[in-house]
Chain A
């Protein structure tokens, strides 16, 4: 039996080997965090890439002029650390002859890889990298899929402004690269809206007891809490907010409430909202590519989990690159760059437009965050899109009913 399988495998590879080199492949290189602490976030992004590639190749590839070229990935494990990122991206460009690049997951690794893409003049579509600073360093070939970190909490603050502009806001966030960048942006945005931030406090990522911070929140009289960081700290914070029976009108936390298992917190999850790059029931009308419903269905069929925004961002990166190549009718970096520079389109993932000015080239300026909230539907916790109101599937519950 084994021998039969082996011989089948060998003959299959012999048959398919010439076919693979028949047309030129479009080679896309990137690193993913297959090991290390970023793995949980990086894996769905990778699945998004894969789903896109397989769907493109099932149709014969990307149309370039009159021909169709299949997509080939070359990827390495960056182990969630920056040590080897530049070495691996150089290898992708020089030895693996990558035509285009995707970014690693996370802002830090992407900034490191960007030096190489810039040095070799290769287009790099970045995803899973929200930090805006990378785009302000004078690049010409970076294109960001995510809404920049400083606007992550903008939709939550817009909602506060619309519902209760006199609220006292507590900004409580993890002291880490991403959350800090988000909080700094949120503080600036709140000031711009004329909102009143009464506490601005960072906590260590490994914090397990929030009571000293929550005591400060109580004594400040804050009635809105925004911030958080990643899953572990964010879910702990949400649970302790519930245990202390804090009477808050609104709680909006980063990342954690977007993870499906957040619902496992039960009553502590109820009413908590999360800024999200994308939600599966967002109803954009795409100019090209699948609808959100179609993407969600295909993704679930393939991976047997519901897609979050990491996965959608991965798929959207491929889609954006594909569209630019098809519009350019060429694999030439300059022509594709020109198409990306003038892209102004809507996909299942939302609106896409890149800043063109030299001081912040490639920064995502078209895409909006949505705000999702855990609400109760027939006694079950369900995550609903609540902001912006036009794209919402349910009205924002404000204040959170007890």
Chain B
């Protein structure tokens, strides 16, 4: 079923490009694509909440930060291998998110959005004061932690390829949920939650499940990011700005669509990266970025994909 759709093969091609491009282009390309993949994973998983279910989650970064904190703790303090830390962080964060989701998803609209910000701040405050996690100074990864993977140079490549795998899973998961009965339930909640419940959609359960699902892959991406980063501090891990940037990526690409979330994340990274290193724009990169994003929101509120869908029938058929 999924395999017969052209979009499935587009996902395969995207992952292949991510895997091969740095081998050809070198480490400079890898660094750019690493960050792009992180952004895409954040945007794709946030899309489950905002695009599919219609709940604006301002605090999606908490999964990324908490996953990173737990994973790096397991690696540096308990000496776990990377793969075990990835799985462990994913499982624990998903469990916590499920419990949390059953609680805060009773809230709707602006109240939910505010609660998600509260979750980020509370988690950050907890980690900052919890000494086993290094408190506010954070945790530093010894270069020796990279040894089992063949040294820092090789470990960074391993982290990259694992991240590409996480990106691939994010894309497939987005595609699968969108086409599934479960996904249909989510869309119903997005359009009218009360009507959906009347029709038999178990809204509270659906919402908690999707909240939990949207937490797993960002948590794993967080471990990989901070493993490569070499240090994790609460200030960096629970950075509300990145949460809001993820929403911007979604709006840029087109919320509710798989390709839009992915494209938004990718385009945003490339765009900011270009401005930052361009000799012409680097001294006022924030001004340009802000102005362009404003224009997009004003004139293409559906994002790049929404804009394309309005014009061409073929994109509506092929792009999910």
Contacts and interface: CB of A to CB of B under 8 A. Distances in A.
Interface of A: 34-35, 76-77, 79, 81-84, 86-88, 90-91, 94-95, 108, 111-112, 114-115, 118-119, 131, 133-134, 136-139, 175-177, 179-181, 184, 202, 204
A34 B277 CA distance: 13
A118 B143 contact: yes
Contacts of B143: 118, 137-139
Given A77-B282, A88-B277, A138 B236 contact: no
B286 A35 contact: yes
Contact of B35 (A84, A95, A115, A177): A84
Interface stretch (B104-112, B174-182, B223-231, B250-258): B223-231
A319 to B, nearest CB: 27
A10 to B, nearest CB: 16
B140 interface: yes
Contacts of A114: 230
Contacts of B35: 83-84, 87
Contacts of B136: 175-177, 179-180, 202
A81 B236 contact: yes
28 contacts: A34-B283, A77-B282, A82-B229, A83-B242, A84-B276, A87-B31, A87-B32, A90-B27, A94-B26, A94-B27, A94-B28, A108-B138, A108-B235, A108-B236, A112-B229, A118-B143, A118-B152, A131-B137, A134-B140, A136-B142, A138-B142, A138-B144, A175-B128, A176-B136, A177-B138, A177-B233, A180-B137, A202-B129
Contact of A119 (B153, B277, B283, B286): B153
B296 interface: no
B173 interface: no
Given A108-B235, A119-B153, A137 B285 contact: no
Interface string B277-306: 100001101100000000000000000000
B276 A77 contact: yes
B276 A115 contact: no
A31 B49 CA distance: 36
B241 interface: yes
Contacts of A90: 27-28, 31
B229 to A, nearest CB: 5
- Of A139, A175, A181, A204, the most chain B CB neighbours within 10 A belong to A175
B140 A111 contact: yes
B135 interface: yes
Contacts of A76: 276-277, 282
Given A108-B235, A181-B137, A86 B273 contact: no
Contacts of B228: 86, 115
B34 interface: yes
Contacts of B28: 90-91, 94-95
Contacts of B229: 82, 86, 112, 115
Contacts of B34: 87
B202 to A, nearest CB: 38
B117 interface: no
A177 B235 contact: yes
A87 B34 CA distance: 9
A95 B31 CA distance: 12
A121 to B, nearest CB: 10
Contacts of A177: 136-138, 233, 235
B320 interface: no
Contacts of B277: 76, 88, 91
Contacts of A181: 137
Given A137-B140, A177-B136, A180-B135, A108 B231 contact: yes
B141 interface: yes
Contacts of B233: 108, 177
Contacts of B141: 137
Contacts of A112: 229-231
Interface in B103-127: 125
Given A138-B144, A177-B138, A81 B239 contact: yes
Nearest to A90: B31
